[in-house]
Structure 1
Amino acid sequence: MNISKLRANIYVLFATFLVAGSFIASINLATVVNPISLTFLRFIGAILILLPLILSKAEYRNKVFSTIPRAMIISLFYSLYFMGMFEALKTTTALNTATLYTLVPLFTAILAFFIFKDHISFNKFIVYIVGLIGTIWVIFKADISLLINFSLNSGDYIFILGSISMCFYSISLKFLYKEGDIPIVIVFCTLIGGAIWMGLGLFIFNKSLDWNLIQGRLLYDMLYLIIGATILTVYFYQKSTVVLGPSKVMSYIYLNPVAVAILLLFIDNKAIELAVVPGIIISTIATFLLQRDKKVKV
């Protein structure tokens, strides 16, 4: 693995833990402000933070208008995922969505095969399945009865469509990338597009902003979502997807439950249940096997 690929893997690993932290930060916020409004505020806040940087350099300013059209497409897929998730949660459960989200790496690999001709060997396909099993093990906490009782409903089908949008988001990061693009400008323009799409979402679903309800410690949670879970993650995903490709980047989704468990251990001193340790090990091994080069058998 060369230096650029190693750096890209480090970026996406950081992004995975930042996303995991967003689940923890969102717990209290979600009970106060509706999720669409929260995401809209994340985009607006991130735009305002990046705006002085973009305006400070002529090379950044000159790239904005040429980047916006492509960023609108990228941000559309990103926003459709959130809208699909919010709509799905009206009729399904967080457990169902977490389970279905584990299909994203495999879906992305299949789409990348058709779009970028990324070959999926039988061995690699098996690793995807193993990673999925390991992640589901963690999600269901090794409780076979929960898995047996798992069933799909109308909200789940909506979330599956949202998850496919997330696959296209990752693919579009690479497909729409042009030589000479400035990553921070792409991030800025993607956030602008996201704010526009989420604003439309607020109108379509008739949701109020309620930003005045974010007070006290919730302000710190919101700041984390804006900087850590929005600016940095979008930047890290942009940088890593161009180098690694969407399939390898999305395979880190298998580590999401693992990252949440580790963060809860350090932040809330919540011990990792022994029953989920095998699932953590399986998910971790599968994720890193999927990072190996095509010429290396997995």
Structure 2
Amino acid sequence: MRGRQQALRGHAAMLGFSAAVSGSFSLGAMVANDIAPVALTSVRFLLASAVLAVMVVLLPAAGRHGARGFTREDLRAPWRYAVLAVFYGGYFVLMFEALKTADPVQAGVIFTLTPLMTALIAVPLLGQKLLPRVAGALAIGAVGAAWVIFRGDWTAMVRFEIGFGEQLYFVGCALHAFYAPALKWLNRGESAFVTASLMTLAGFILFATYGWREIAATDWLALPGRVWLVLAYLVVFATALAGSAVQFAAQRLPASRVMAYTYGTPAWVILWELALGHGVPGAIVLPGIALIAVALLVLLRAD
């Protein structure tokens, strides 16, 4: 019974993750040309790390063994947080670079290919078994994603007619696919908030070192107000809360099922696009969206 309760908590965390991350596509596309991706990601990670550190210190059971605050054990082998930051931060840098040209809904659908890549990575890395039902659901989801990406044009699919932004974002999703298995593989008892805080701090150090010229060249005071609003959303919801949710769920669910919630992303993105008045794809993509929904339901039943 306790194991089932923990699994349900993991599912609830990933539902929140799916809703929070989806806003990144529509909002990110609005500011992708206003600020350099590395500069945005560096500041985003710095602020998110601070927010998460405050949560670790103040929230009950936010630290190791149900206590508050950081411990000396949390700081052992700090290279682990750098590795996680490369996967997580690299994904975001490529995402915002891609959104300069990629359609937000298209990007959201490409994101649904992440569970299949995650499952293929988790099998050798964690020794997790890929059940036939799970494999079938991942395959269904991949077909649905392909249908939406190529808008039902199988000729375009055979010729692999896909924009550069979408191709770049696919590489970013490959990095993200390593993130969930690596969380479980590298965890040494740290809580979700501790890992997320130290990972984002490591990400800030790495990306600020790499992109200091872009950061220095950015006229921060002249940035449009929408950039700061989007940055606030990204820090609180798409980084701090979403990162903690993945870490929380990764300790309670198989890696392929953790990332299964990315199948909900297209539906969330379409709702975001409608709310922002950007319009949505035509009815030709509906069969693909339906297949993605079937994949999510099968994966949830498989638990």
Whether TM exceeds 0.5 here: the answer is: yes
CA RMSD, 1 decimal: 3.4
Q: In structure 1, what is the equivalent of residue 64 of structure 2?
A: none
The structure 1 residue matched to 2:258, chosen from 249, 256, 262, is 249
Q: In structure 2, what is the equivalent of residue 7 of structure 1?
A: 9
Name the aligned partner's letter for residue 62 of structure 1: T
Unaligned runs of 5+ in 1: none
Q: Which segment drifts farther, 146-155 or 217-226?
A: 146-155
Q: Is the 8 A contact 1:139 1:257 kept in 2?
A: no
Q: Distance in 1 between matches of 2:292 and 2:144?
A: 5
Q: Is the 8 A contact 1:16 1:256 kept in 2?
A: yes
Name the aligned partner's letter for residue 292 of structure 1: R
Name the aligned partner's letter for residue 293 of structure 2: T
Unaligned runs of 5+ in 2: 60-66
Q: Distance in 2 between matches of 1:114 and 1:171?
A: 10
Aligned length: 292
Name the aligned partner's letter for residue 18 of structure 1: A
Q: 1:244 to 1:282 in 2, by over 3 A?
A: same
Q: Is the 8 A contact 1:135 1:257 kept in 2?
A: no
Q: In structure 1, what is the equivalent of residue 295 of structure 2?
A: 286
The structure 2 residue matched to 1:29, chosen from 28, 31, 42, is 31
Residue 233 of structure 1 deviates from its aligned partner by: 0.6
Q: In structure 2, what is the equivalent of residue 105 of structure 1?
A: 115
Equivalent residue of 2:217, what SS?
coil
Q: Distance in 2 between matches of 1:127 and 1:16?
A: 18
Q: In structure 2, what is the equivalent of residue 119 of structure 1?
A: 129
Name the aligned partner's letter for residue 46 of structure 2: I
Q: 1:190 to 1:162 in 2, by over 3 A?
A: same
Residue 162 of structure 1 deviates from its aligned partner by: 3.9
Q: In structure 1, what is the equivalent of residue 243 of structure 2?
A: 234
Q: Distance in 1 between matches of 2:236 and 2:215?
A: 27
Q: In structure 1, what is the equivalent of residue 232 of structure 2?
A: 223
Residue 67 of structure 1 deviates from its aligned partner by: 7.0
Residue 24 of structure 1 deviates from its aligned partner by: 1.5
The structure 2 residue matched to 1:212, chosen from 210, 221, 224, is 221
**Sequence identity, in percent?**
27
Q: Distance in 2 between matches of 1:211 and 1:256?
A: 31
Equivalent residue of 1:292, what SS?
helix
Q: Is the 8 A contact 1:135 1:255 kept in 2?
A: no
Residue 283 of structure 1 deviates from its aligned partner by: 0.4
Q: Is the 8 A contact 1:138 1:257 kept in 2?
A: no
The structure 2 residue matched to 1:48, chosen from 14, 29, 50, is 50
Equivalent residue of 2:301, what SS?
coil
Q: Is the 8 A contact 2:260 2:299 kept in 1?
A: yes
Q: 1:34 to 1:237 in 2, by over 3 A?
A: same
Equivalent residue of 1:32, what SS?
coil
Question: Quick check: 1:186 aligned with 2:233?
Answer: no
Q: Is the 8 A contact 1:60 1:182 kept in 2?
A: no
Residue 156 of structure 1 deviates from its aligned partner by: 7.7
Q: In structure 2, what is the equivalent of residue 75 of structure 1?
A: 85
Q: Which segment drifts farther, 230-239 or 140-149?
A: 140-149
Q: Is the 8 A contact 1:171 1:246 kept in 2?
A: yes
Residue 55 of structure 1 deviates from its aligned partner by: 4.8
